[in-house]
Amino acid sequence: MILTGPAIAAAVSAGEITIAPYDPARLSPNAYDWRLGERIRICASDLDAATPTTFTELTIPVSGLVLKPGVLYLGVTLEKTGSETYAQLLNGDRTIGALGIWVHVSAPLGHQGHAIRWTLEIRVAKPARVYPGMTFGKLVFLATLGTPDSYQQQRAKYAATNGIDISRLYEEIPQGAL
């Protein structure tokens, strides 16, 4: 079950949902409009699942940064979000999609109990300028069924994420790069 905007606001007030910074004007009928943070990692070389990704990290200037096709960008949400009560789904939105920007296609689920600034997988169809703090998508909160099991209490790879995080799949590949 998806929470409505007023239900999200009530859950924030009750301390059941954390959104920091929180702006009630960013609530929509069934979501919260999240923003792009100010840091971005550029992964311009070949990627290998068996080795840590190399990248260049920079601050997105106030004047914006032009993203180019064929490059993987890892960004971060401005907001830190989480809940021990609700699961989350992070999505891009129509306004970003209409600019040819695809964001966070592969991992939209925020587990119950996971409080993070989301790492974003960003790709573009054509060169597109982005700005720090611009609206970049919608965050949906979902009621869960069953016994709660906090993600933060598990030995999960990304439980301690607090910003942009590269893939850690290499930790599961014992032979490393061939």
Q: List the catalytic residues.
A: 121
164 pairs with which residues across the strands?
Answer: none
Q: Are 165 and 119 in contact (CB under 8 A)?
A: yes
Please tell me whether the peptide bond between 21 and the residue prior to it is cis, using omega within 30 degrees of 0. yes
In the numeric block, the tokens 């999505």 are attached to: 91
Euclidean distance between CA atoms 135 and 148, whole angstroms? 31
- Residue 86: how many other CB atoms lie within 10 Å: 23
N residues, the chain: 178
Residues 6+ apart with CB under 8 A from 63: none
- Please tell me the chain's helix, strand, coil percentages from 3-state DSSP, rounded to the nearest 5: 15, 40, 50
